[in-house]
Structure 1
Amino acid sequence: MSSSLASLALVQQKTGAAQLDRFGDPTIVGVALAYFAVIVGVSVWAARRTRTASDFFVAGHGIGLVALTVASVSTSVSGFAFIGGPGLLYSVGLGALFLILPAAVTNVLGAWVLAKRMRLLGEVRGLMTVPDAIGARYRSPMAQGLSGIAILVGIVGYMATNCLAMGYVLDAIFGVGVTWGIWIGMGVTLAYSVAGGILAGIYNDVFQGTLMAVASSAVFVYVLKLGGGMAGLSNAITPTDAGFLGPFGKMTPLAALSLFFVFGMGSLGQPQAVHKYYMLRDPKQLKWYPMLKTVGQLVVLLLYFGVGVGVKALVSAQRMAPLAKPDAATPSFLLQFTPALLAGIVFAGVAAATMGATNSFINIGAAVVTHDLPTALGRPLRNELRWGRISTLVLALLAGLIAQYSGALVAFLGVFGWGLFASTTVPALAIGLNWAGATRAGAIASIVTGLATTLTLETLAYLKLYAFPAGVSGTAVGLVLSLLVFFAGSWLTRARAAAAIDGDVRLVMDV
């Protein structure tokens, strides 16, 4: 065995032992248990205030701007950014940053294009869901039902993302294994989702987002200190993998730009963010929303960048063993190189973010099952609150099973969910609420196209049966085709486009 291989074997033995020694660390476990105690307290409080379907699904339209912004940041970044993101960055280099680079632009775009219209439309019509808005815009139960189905499919994939991330985090804290981690995390999330609905999720997200901002900043500082600053990190990586630090990392320019397109334009179709516009107490405060959310995202995404680059530098310098799975980047770094208190805070914060995002998706999915689909079929349910709680349980179990048995990485499930939301919702909702020329036929055709195309292409890629050249994402192709079909369908059926919009909806669009 060469000296370098012997050295690496020694590093693997040491880091493996270090990781095992940290399982069940009293400080880490104590911080995690303290977090769960806060979650229980908030959930009990929220359950007492959740009496109607409006309370359960949209928090009674009574959330302030700061709480809404922090909750939105927490939901947006979730386990995808804290577990899948660093793992993706470790694997493909700086090209992974193209997923998060659009953040500043998309927050402004979302507030400008959708926020006020969604909030006012919700007040005028008493709406509770994203498909509600699509149905009202086109006077079409079919459009509402199809968008609900598309959102439901994406939600299960995205929930699986966060379930899998929870599995990694709870395994790192307690050493219970990823499978048990998935189900323990889902059990805790279910407890406050079923009891308090979105109200419990919002205020737990406020606590979670604040905790994660502090933790991310601390981890980033620690990475810089451990790696000798950005220059030290760069010097460690360059000799072994110079392409890692290139502007597109190991990705082709087309692959990186396709992710930028999907995550930029796609932000306008993410129900976990758009749905929260209904909850804002005062629409006049929206002018501050883009700045507050952008600052919040930049802070919490320091962990995304810091851990991804830091772990790569440590592996390149043989101070850390190569990762068996990219998704282990964050847990491995925290267990091996940070103080127990900081590791406990970050683990609690990551668990918090993933549970908060899961709660949000569960709530949206339950609304689709109990409200949107029955409305589309002309058979509304009598007790939406009760059925919403039952649907919450079923969706959680389904997402947990997918997370356990899919064998997919967190990043893959996250890109799939985000892309499916984008290709099925952006044209009909974001463009439709800003363009009177959009028609019912165009909206329905775009939803069907986005759903079929994204599912087909991503499934083929996952099974390794077909992939586009140069690494172009199938989700990007699905979004482009959905947009083209939307415009073509609307143009071909344009004769009565403006006349098909109800007066109150048109008034909201003109605001």
Structure 2
Amino acid sequence: MNSHTLILLITLVYLGLMLGIGLWANTRMKSSKEFLVAGQSLGFFVMAIASFSSIQSGWGMVGVTGTTASWGLGALMFAIAGPLAFALTWFMLGGKLRAIARRHQAFSIPDLIRVRYQNRSVTLWMSIALVVGTVGYMTAQVVAAGFITALLLGIDFATALVIGAVIVGLYTVAGGMLAAVWTDLVQGLLMIAMSVGVFFLTLGIGGGWTATLETLNSAAPEVLQLDGVRSGAWIVANTMMIILGMIGQPQLIHKFLMLRSTRELRWGALIASVGYGATTLFSLGLGLAARAEIVQGNMTEPSNPDDIVNSFLSQYMHPVVTALALTALLAAIMSSASSFITIGASAMTRDLLGSFGITLNRELRWNRIASVVIVGLSVFVALFLDQIIYLLGAIGWSAFAAAILGPIVVGLYWRRGTGTGALTAIITSLLLNVGLTIVTKEGWWTPPTGFFSGHAVIAVGMVVYVAVSYLTQNRADQTRFDAIAEPEARQQPVQITPDTEARA
């Protein structure tokens, strides 16, 4: 069996396994609860691995590796901040979100908005923000999946993009969040194994880890300094924004709505943090090894840092190792995509339409139809609208964080948070995201060096939420806060309905 045949076999086995999990999950789909929150049946291990897997995407595995090769250890600080963000999210939100999900039958982020503020306008705009962010995020994942699939199968990019999107769409449509979680489990374990394996393999590329570090220290010492390429203030500011942004990512928050019991939270943070930390070994080993080979003249530096991974693997690794590594990268991409499809489908159907008082019959069927629409929109954008790809890709990450951090994260702890503050923060952050991306893309404004519009929008969204809430304090919002802040033992199950919202 030649190398190409073996690579093809490895890829087909992986893709077949993902489809098999989707078909298995489909046999357990009886209601929208199973589709949206996996029947709230997850144990801590599955939930923990699925949590880090859905966060660790093509950006984390491919993008951070490229920036590590370019910026050195300073870039890796962003990835190292990930485990801290997991721990903070677990302890800040885990118990609260699980209790709210159990009492109010909350299956989505807009459901949490309904419970906290009982305001249809806030629910509507949160749903819009989630749909926009989902399409943007999905577009980036679909493009990355197409690139990796093309390398693995030896086909053109457009065909590979469609194949990757169809496969992740099929198993998600068939099994919803249950399929997404269990495929995330397999994909997360695959990412960990690949990252650790590639890390140790790279140790021998330049004569060992010590020799690699000595080469870098003599030829490019700035790579081994945290503030060697970028300033310390820049590194700290961006690391903090990465932490805050990750806390506000819906695919992570959504996992807490699926837990079987709050007792499952005890070890989840540790497992998720260790799993995410293990995958950063891929960026550390390959990124620094690639930089050492480049400074010695043994490897040509790609014009695009994102090409570092493929260039290094194809030049220095056995084809089978390359195939396994690329398959694990495909797993990282698909694990994020499947969660976004389900979150976007829920926002498009039950949440967006529900904010207008429209209740769908056969909700499970409509969630599946919406999932197909999300995948179709992402493929269309990826194939035909290059400028929109840039626009949506730029606003995806920060659209989520800016819309969620204030109304959800702060709102669950701050009694004075109001529906007006939440509504203003969501609309402001969404419009500011789109506006800044357009003016910079069209060349109407040149941002200062080191300025990232997404980070600024997150900060503005937080400030707007706090300021407007402070100015619009009211007893009704505080009463709602007191109701959800009661100890879980004293709470009785409550269903928030459109009529309840209308009366509020």
Corresponding residue number in structure 2 for 1:494: 473
Q: Deviations over 1:156-179 (max 9, x none)?
A: 111122112212211221222333
Counterparts in 2 of 1:247 and 1:182: CA distance versus 1, 3 Å: same
Aligned to 1:41: 20
Deviation at 1:414, TM superposition (A): 6.4
1:125 pairs with 2:104: yes
Residue pair 1:165, 1:410 contacting (<8 A) in 2 also: no
Superposition deviation, residue 316 in structure 1: 2.0
Distance 1:125 1:49, change over 3 A: same
Which of 435, 438, 444 in structure 1 is aligned with 2:417?
A: 438
CA RMSD of aligned residues (A): 2.5
| Alignment-mate amino acid for residue 108 of structure 1 | A
Answer yes or no: is 1:185 the counterpart of 2:152.
no
Partner residue of 1:339? 318
Counterpart contact for 1:438–1:497, Cα < 8 Å: no
CA distance in 1, matches of 2:45, 2:467: 40
Deviations 1:249-271 (A, max 9, x none): 53344443332122111122100
- Contact 2:65-2:283 at 8 Å conserved across structures: yes
- Counting only pairs closer than 5 Å after superposition, residues 87-486 of structure 1 correspond to structure 2 as 87-237=66-216, 241-405=220-384, 416-486=395-465
Post-superposition shift, 1:448? 1.3
1:245 alignment partner AA: L
Instruction: Give 2:92's aligned amino acid.
Output: V
- Please say which of residues 483-492 and 312-321 is displaced more in the overlay: 312-321
Distance 1:454 1:198 in 2: 28
Counterpart CA distance in 1 for 2:480 and 2:22 is: 41
The letter for the 1-side match of 2:293 is: L
**Does structure 1 conserve the Cα–Cα contact (< 8 Å) formed by 2:381 and 2:389?**
no
Instruction: Give the Cα separation in 1 of the matches to 2:179 and 2:387.
Output: 30
Question: Aligned ranges for residues 65-84 of structure 1 at < 5 Å?
Answer: 65-84=44-63
Shift of the 260–509 alpha-carbon distance from structure 1 to 2, 3 Å rule, reads farther
Query: Could you list the per-position Cα deviations for residues 438-485 of structure 1 after superposition, in whole angstroms to 9, with x for gaps in the alignment?
Result: 111111111112112222223333444434323121111111111111
TM-score, normalised via structure 2 length: 0.91
- What per-residue deviation string (whole Å, max 9, x for no partner) do you get for residues 271-307 of structure 1? 0110011111121121212111110101112112222
Distance 1:506 1:84 in 2: 40
d(CA) in 1 for partners of 2:442, 2:187: 36
Deviation string 1:320-357 (CA, Å, 9 cap, x unpaired) is 22214322222222222112332222222111221121
**Per-residue deviation, 1:504:** 4.0
Where structure 1 has 5 or more consecutive residues not aligned to the other structure, the ranges are 1-21
Q: CA deviation at 1:502?
A: 6.2
Alpha-carbon distance change, 508 to 274 in structure 1, aligned in 2, over 3 angstroms = farther
Separation of aligned partners in 2, 1:292 and 1:415: 30
Structure 1 residue aligned with 2:31: 52
CA distance in 1, matches of 2:45, 2:95: 16
> 1:105-152: per-residue Cα shift (whole Å, max 9, x none)?
211211121111111111111111011101210111211111111121
Q: Distance in 1 between matches of 2:455 and 2:123?
A: 23
Identity of matched residues, %: 29
CA distance in 2, matches of 1:482, 1:457: 14
Decide which moves more: 343-352 or 129-138.
Answer: 343-352
Residue 367 of structure 1 aligns to which amino acid in structure 2? S
Q: 1:300 & 1:81 partners in 2: Cα distance? A: 9
Amino acid at match of 1:139: Q
- When residues 403 and 98 of structure 1 are mapped into structure 2, their CA distance, relative to the original with a 3 A threshold, is farther
Contact 2:391 2:434 in 1 (8 A): no
Instruction: Please say if residues 86 and 272 of structure 2, whose CA atoms lie closer than 8 Å, have aligned partners that are also in contact.
Output: yes
Q: Structure 2, unaligned stretches of length 5 or more?
A: 491-504
Change (3 A) 1:365 1:182: same
Between the aligned partners of 1:149 and 1:298, the Cα distance in structure 2 is 33
Cα pair 1:56 1:196 within 8 Å, conserved: yes
- 1:481 is aligned with what amino acid? V
Q: What residue is the counterpart of 2:486 in the other structure?
A: 507
State the aligned residue count: 489
The one-letter code of the counterpart of 2:258 is M
Find the aligned partners of 1:416 and 1:216 in 2 and give their Cα distance. Answer: 29
> 1:103, 1:282 → 2: CA distance?
25
Q: Distance in 2 between matches of 1:256 and 1:408?
A: 29
C-alpha deviation, 1:237, in angstroms: 4.0
3-state SS of 1:227 partner: coil
| Contact 1:258/1:472 (<8 A) preserved | no
Structure 2 counterpart of 1:8: none
Secondary structure of 2:94's partner? helix
Distance 1:386 1:413, change over 3 A: same
Q: Which of these residues, 32, 35, 41, is aligned with residue 11 of structure 2?
A: 32
Task: Provide the residue aligned with 1:18 in structure 2.
Answer: none
